[in-house]
Amino acid sequence: MSDPLPVITAFRWVPDFARGVVRDMRVRWALEEVGQPYQVRLVDGISVKAAEHRCLQPFGQVPTYEQDGFTMFESGAILLHIARTRTGLLPDDPAQAAAAEQWVFAAMTSVEPAIQDLGLVNIFEADQPWAEARRPISEARVRSRLADLSQRLGDQPYLEGLFTAGDLMMVCVLRGLTGTSLLADYPTLEAYVARCQARPAFRRALAAHLADFDTTPPLAA
């Protein structure tokens, strides 16, 4: 008898700007890369904050990951768990695996905070009177990270030569710039994102991620 399939959680509906970038996308892509089928349990904005879901995810977010009684949360941690227990996302050599993992952290803790701040400016605080004045400050922080990342990537296809979990997370983070024109100013990075997004595993994951959304928002509670 084979192990039960992993179950992840994802949102049943999100606004258009979030489609393609909700964090279950990261886990779906990882599972596709390693060839692991999975099931999805859809949640909504109310159930995700309920006590039952918070047992799995204390901050009331998605995704979560469950398999055979083992549960965890945080897309970065789930990615590393998948990468370490299956083949295809981390080199076997421990030093090379550590190098790949450092890019998972670099993506989430050195690059993503700047991109999230720009998301505050452009989306969540877009109606605030300070949005226009804050935008250039926030964009300058993003550009600084993109310039450094582009410089490091150079003419390599991937951050550590071969595609790893680090590239998967970095590309998911850079996809947070969709809707801005920033990435177009860094052709090295634009080509890198396109290269990673051309992977069949990415395309399958994105198709499944998008297909799971309802077309109309839920009724307010």
- Neighbour-count burial of 91, counting CB atoms closer than 10 A to its CB (0-12 exposed, 13-18 middle, 19+ buried): middle
> Which x/- pattern over 64-83 shows residues binding a second copy (rule: CB under 8 A)?
------x-xxxxxxx-xx--
Q: At a CB cut-off of 8 Å and minimum separation 6, what does 193 contact?
A: 171, 174, 175, 183
Q: Which of 5, 34, 42, 99 binds a second copy (CB under 8 A)?
A: 99
The region of 109-117, 176-184, 189-197, 207-215 touching a second copy under the rule CB under 8 A is 109-117
Measured over all CA atoms, what is the biggest interatomic distance in the chain, rounded to whole angstroms? 60
Nearer to a second copy, 78 or 89 (CB): 78
| Rg of the chain taking only CA atoms, in angstroms | 18
Residue type, 130: W
> Which x/- pattern over 141-180 shows residues binding a second copy (rule: CB under 8 A)?
----x--xx-xx----------------------------
Q: Which of 46, 98, 207, 210 binds a second copy (CB under 8 A)?
A: 98
Q: How far apart are CA 9 and CA 135, in angstroms?
A: 33
Q: How far is the CB of 74 from a second copy (least distance, A)?
A: 4
The region of 13-21, 35-43, 121-129, 187-195 touching a second copy under the rule CB under 8 A is 121-129
- 196 φ, ψ to 5°? -70, -40
